[in-house]
Structure 1
């Protein structure tokens, strides 16, 4: 919204100089004009020249509800200030707040910047005592901000506040304190064209249009969790990595920054699926960190991945000439998180993610596998339901995946089917919470309708919008000749 000056060039909110005052010395008038501020405006605001201690001081009155309660004095020949002794502190130009107005309120660090805003047609006040050296830990109890508390009822009527403080260390500290006191949701802040550090410098260096533009273009203070599209960086195209199962080509991928939930009933063969995925990843130089809480790292986990990596039968595996090379590849590209070497070690989600973070930063892990979820130590807060805990834990995992740009796969068991039935489970059947379905980026289910047959359904049941892949239900088998999951008809 473009702000225009009122007819006489001054804001209708200019109220401070309604009472009689001594004259403004011509040298003070010239000094004010040199700052780009109208001497007529200064007189209207009650600025005058007074004799104190044998010197002529420029006096700026502080008026509250029509009564002058204080003055700020300065020498124009040098930067010296003083105020009336023991006088109360108030916002300069306080009485503009008495007028009913839908205009934003400009809050400045000094009277001169506030006068610039007034001259441009804005409603403006200034704090009486400048900026603190550093941001306060408890601004609500700082005496320097009593002026805000005195005017709190009037300030509460203001819908939008523009903070036009100095762009230096103390000014930024003042800005932070004012945001804390007034609320980020209604505050905007001014950015000045370099090298100007305040509104008066913008006026004198670049002119009134630039000063007005600085106020017009004030930026909303960011509110945590609420953003504009311009706040987000442009993201590169999502790049996934094949899972190594031919039947799932183009259906699901290993995508950095995502969470895949993989479920299926116990003893159906989910480990064979994960061995295929992990072997394919490490064969293509991807380091994998596996939280192995149900399968012994040696020999079971190692041999399952090694067999899939080599692509041989169990009969050939024991004496296969590539077995040692497979072990070396696994040693280089696999990291194991487990407490099998220290049974007293408690691994909750926090400890697990901390170890995974080390694997990412130190070893370059790009795929994290947690297998299975229910074997972790789950520590709920006293006031937390199981569903609330699962939701919080999944949020932590997804945050970890995004901030570390890694793919996380969680193997999570579903509840047991009713006795005598063997229907394929869904993500909603995963134990403890519907969050497994709601919060997953990818959902994968493995199910064998008949455990006596080497045939299973491998279903991609969720692909979050914008990610590569599509839902499907394919028939697969464990190819005993190579130890990998393959299409049933391959």
Structure 2
């Protein structure tokens, strides 16, 4: 006799015994930022379910069904209100904030009654249409007491997308965009969701608008966001993605928070002066101390930046990850430098929401590399073997996680200049915060006639360092040491940056230097992380720390927390690089 399956057999948790209920999806909710989103619709009486996020569906009698590939589609809002006329009250309200009727008409701003979920009722609101060409793709509604909502299921694009020109001004709200236009500047956009709150860990999804092809028109960017802590964070993210060498920043008049604040208090002429006084962001070269006055004030107010945790407390005592720096990682082949760096990326993605661009030709095919990353994420083997492997659900969750956080580079002729140009585009579109080049010798290093290898390495590392600083990413370069001589016991010594093939510039130009090493004369899983250089004391200090490597999962743990399982014979068994 066949026993009827229940919803719990499929991992579906319900509070009711009949009717319809929305709940979390056991297939995808654990992998998403909002793990409590009730995306799974269940008809309890009919015994069927469908996930509106990942497409998982099924029934108690039929079992799980296929998971179709989800193609993102956007709902188009209906925006048919007459935009050429506003009530006298609305015109007066905008006028009190310095916004002219001419600007309102050009931007098709209207007033209407609309439902607000947070009020659980309809309310009169200002409607700001978001346009692409002649089409309205979204609408933001704002009540007089600052309740906001946008159209559900509609695409979030920049407000002012049609107005982008060679020089583009970035602001934080629709009122600021209109204020800048009153001051005479039409080429201005506002981000759709405002600035990220200071405690937001991962806000990369809030920057999907950076993929807009219209942004390619802009050659110079003027960042004119709010003068508060969220505005500081938004400014830094825009500078990082757009490139500091293409950006100017605006500082508002004393006591003013944003563009509309300046317009209300001082008028259009003063607002125009603030924008015209925008200064280039210091990157490299000769600069006066006065250029750093504002940034020093922010450091004083909000504190010196610190490196991000690696996920290993014992490693954090010596090394943390600072945006805008680069780390040299070296080690004897088979000692696990690439494996350790993969584990570090997984930690940074999970703990801090980091996204990565990875150039790793030695880890081909990419499916092989993904299987190793999945093992580190799940903590179970990917392949069948004597130890229980990850389940189908765990595998699917790991792939979703990796898809969210990793982009792989596979150019046919990967030169340093070519990689940098590709990476600039990826940072802009995907908000990448970490870049891995593994290894250095797989990059095409053709150099001009008469340029020595030492001179070439110096120039190449300077270009990469400038890229990391301009875009606020952390770069790891894995570089092999030259052939080392074994010691009397058959062991290789711990390599240093000076042992890396090519030049002493590896030691001199790197912000941080790390060597991954293990004692092959001992049958042990212990791997030593030698931190050999730290440029900034807020990042860490020189020293050595031990981690235990779990060959079954590719994970690294502090030795005291390593699982007590049988270890393989390490004498002739390398850790995969």
Alpha-carbon distance in 2 for matches of 1:426, 1:275: 21
TM-score w.r.t. length of structure 1: 0.51
Alpha-carbon distance in 1 for matches of 2:449, 2:496: 30
**Local SS of the residue matching 1:260:** strand
**Contact conserved, 1:264 with 1:414, CA < 8 A, in 2?**
yes
**Contact conserved, 1:272 with 1:485, CA < 8 A, in 2?**
no
Alpha-carbon distance in 1 for matches of 2:355, 2:527: 28
**Contact conserved, 2:491 with 2:519, CA < 8 A, in 1?**
no
Give the CA deviation at 1:247: 2.6
Alignment partner of 2:398 out of 315, 318, 326: 326
Give the CA deviation at 1:378: 0.5
2:318 matched residue in structure 1: 251
Alpha-carbon distance in 2 for matches of 1:274, 1:468: 17
**Contact conserved, 1:293 with 1:376, CA < 8 A, in 2?**
no
Say whether residues 1:270 and 2:373 are aligned partners: no
Deviations 1:393-427 (A, max 9, x none): 11001100000011111111111211455110011
Give the CA deviation at 1:434: 0.6
1:226 matched residue in structure 2: 286
Query: Superposition pairs for residues 259-408 of structure 1, below 5 Å?
Result: 259-284=326-351, 285-313=353-381, 315-319=387-391, 321-339=393-411, 345-408=412-475
Give the CA deviation at 1:320: 5.5
Deviations 1:295-315 (A, max 9, x none): 115322101111111122453
Moved more, 455-464 or 227-236: 227-236
2:196 matched residue in structure 1: none
Give the CA deviation at 1:318: 4.8
Say whether residues 1:487 and 2:554 are aligned partners: no
Deviations 1:218-275 (A, max 9, x none): xxxx9x9433322334264223211223430232122110011111011111122012
Give the aligned length. 263
**Contact conserved, 2:434 with 2:475, CA < 8 A, in 1?**
yes
Deviations 1:304-354 (A, max 9, x none): 111111122453335363111100111121000114xxxxx2110011111
**Local SS of the residue matching 2:419:** helix
Alpha-carbon distance in 2 for matches of 1:421, 1:385: 33
| Structure possessing the higher radius of gyration over alpha carbons | 1
Cα 1:320/1:415, change in 2 over 3 Å: farther
Say whether residues 1:477 and 2:543 are aligned partners: no
**Contact conserved, 2:338 with 2:478, CA < 8 A, in 1?**
no
Which runs of 5 or more structure 1 residues have no equivalent in the other structure? Answer: 1-221, 340-344
**Contact conserved, 1:475 with 1:487, CA < 8 A, in 2?**
yes
Deviations 1:119-143 (A, max 9, x none): xxxxxxxxxxxxxxxxxxxxxxxxx
Structure 1 stretches of at least 4 aligned residues deviating more than 6 Å after TM superposition: none
Alpha-carbon distance in 2 for matches of 1:253, 1:364: 20
Alpha-carbon distance in 2 for matches of 1:281, 1:395: 25
Cα 1:240/1:320, change in 2 over 3 Å: farther
**Contact conserved, 1:414 with 1:425, CA < 8 A, in 2?**
yes
2:41 matched residue in structure 1: none
**Local SS of the residue matching 2:358:** strand
TM-score w.r.t. length of structure 2: 0.43
Alignment partner of 2:481 out of 404, 414, 419: 414
**Local SS of the residue matching 2:363:** coil
RMSD: 2.1
